Amino acid sequence: MTASIDGDWSLKRLLVEKIGSGPKTAADLTYDQAREGFARVLDGDPDRATVAAFLLANRWKVSTPTELAGFIDAVRSRSVNTAVPAVDPVDCGANYDGKTDTLVLGVAAGLVAAAAGTPVVTHAGPPLPGKEGTTYRDVLAELGVVTNITPAASARMTDEVGFGFYNQTQFSPALNDIRDLRATIGVRTSINTVETLANPANASVHLGSFYHRTYGEKVASAVRESRTLPTEEVLMVTGLEGYDDIRPGTVPVAEWTGGETITERQAFDSPPEFDREPLSADDVRKASARVTESVLSNDRDGPLVEAVLVNAGARIYAGGNADTIPTGVEQARTALHSGEATARLGALRSFSP
């Protein structure tokens, strides 16, 4: 049974009195108002039209870190069924609407990081607006990995393989239940950010991505203000198509390691052989799976290998097993050449819930 909602801020009242007057005159919500409002979104109260209006008004106004923290905590307390593995993985919460033009490198990168001793978890669901692109879930399915599994099975996968996948349809049924409404709205809303921070494994480290630095700082600030997330550190990187695949060139990051300070800096320059052109794909799902197989099998070299190693290095650094991302890249290179990443892919494919 859904828990009752404390407070008297209906969605209609929040629209009329706070956020519904337009981007120039709308008022920001307090943490409590945001948490209550999003609880009503999850409950479908009072009706779909009002829920849609609330989400769109937040999009136009632009959500604050405090509002995002309230939204996150409503989802975590009312919908997220966590299952905690014995290991403490890096939570890679990539955008659930996926990628349409470039390869998804996170499966390969996550398995290389796992081979180097840094466990990784990812989470996603069925296609979402506005891109309805390829996600972790799609690449894993193309590789023959079981994805429609319970959170408990996801935690066991993480412990057995060092890489785990959590399916949103299983760990957050309330978010899944409003998927049709989101498709009707047709554009990104605050839910697109919130779901990437759901953290179904209760990991202490989150790795995410952003188009612009201000967004990276906002997400890190939201995690800092959350009252339910166990996250202790956040690393936000500039990702291709807003995904958690690091883009070529100089890579800005936003990093939070506890306390009040969020650090923004240039993390490193990608290797010169890390070129964007080889990362493009017409069929992103199939091409991403093929590249994952060939890179992990040591059947190729060049830009695609370097791209996977850079992203694995970021995960190793985020997990606290390297002092810098470049050092993590070299640890990833050693792990890849050892053949251990190939074995991890085999274990992932043979995992049975």
Domain regions of the chain by residue span: 11-62, 90-350
Q: What is the pLDDT along the chain (353 residues), one digit of tens a residue?
A: 356 777 789 999 999 999 988 777 899 999 999 999 999 999 876 688 899 999 999 999 989 999 999 999 999 999 999 999 999 999 998 999 999 999 999 999 999 999 999 999 999 998 876 678 999 999 999 999 999 999 999 999 999 999 999 999 999 999 988 888 888 888 889 999 999 999 999 999 999 988 777 788 899 999 999 999 999 999 999 888 889 998 877 888 889 998 888 888 777 777 777 776 789 999 999 999 999 999 999 888 888 999 999 999 999 999 999 999 999 999 999 999 999 999 999 999 999 99
Predicted local distance difference test score (pLDDT) of residue 56: 93
Task: State the SS3 of 68-86.
Answer: HHHHHHHHHHHCCCCCCCC
Q: Is 266 exposed, middle or buried (0-12, 13-18, 19+ CB in 10 A)?
A: exposed
Cα 104 to Cα 98: distance, rounded to the nearest angstrom:
9
Query: Percentages helix, strand, coil for the chain, rounded to the nearest 5?
Result: 50, 15, 35
* Amino acid found at 285: R
Task: State the SS3 of 175-232.
Answer: HHHCHHHHHHHCCCCHHHHHHHHCCCCCCCEEEEEECCHHHHHHHHHHHHHCCCCCCC
Examine residue 252 and say whether the peptide bond preceding it is cis (omega within 30 degrees of 0).
no
CB 99 within 8 A of CB 243: yes
CB 104 within 8 A of CB 253: no
Nearest to 155 by CA among 108, 115, 123, 197: 123
Cα 161 to Cα 120: distance, rounded to the nearest angstrom:
9
Cα 140 to Cα 13: distance, rounded to the nearest angstrom:
43
Residue 189 vs residues 181, 186, 193, 240: alpha-carbon distances, Å: 11, 9, 8, 20
Predicted local distance difference test score (pLDDT) of residue 2: 55
- Backbone φ and ψ for 60, nearest 5 degrees, come out as -70, -40
pTM over 0.85: yes
Predicted local distance difference test score (pLDDT) of residue 206: 97
Predicted local distance difference test score (pLDDT) of residue 99: 94
Question: Given 3.40.1030.10, 3.40.50.10440, 1.10.630.10, 3.30.300.130, which CATH number is that of 90-350?
Answer: 3.40.1030.10
Predicted local distance difference test score (pLDDT) of residue 46: 66
Predicted local distance difference test score (pLDDT) of residue 135: 95
What SS3 class is residue 308?
A: helix
The helix (run of H) or strand (run of E) holding residue 240 is none
Tracing tokens 């408990």 back to the chain, one arrives at 152
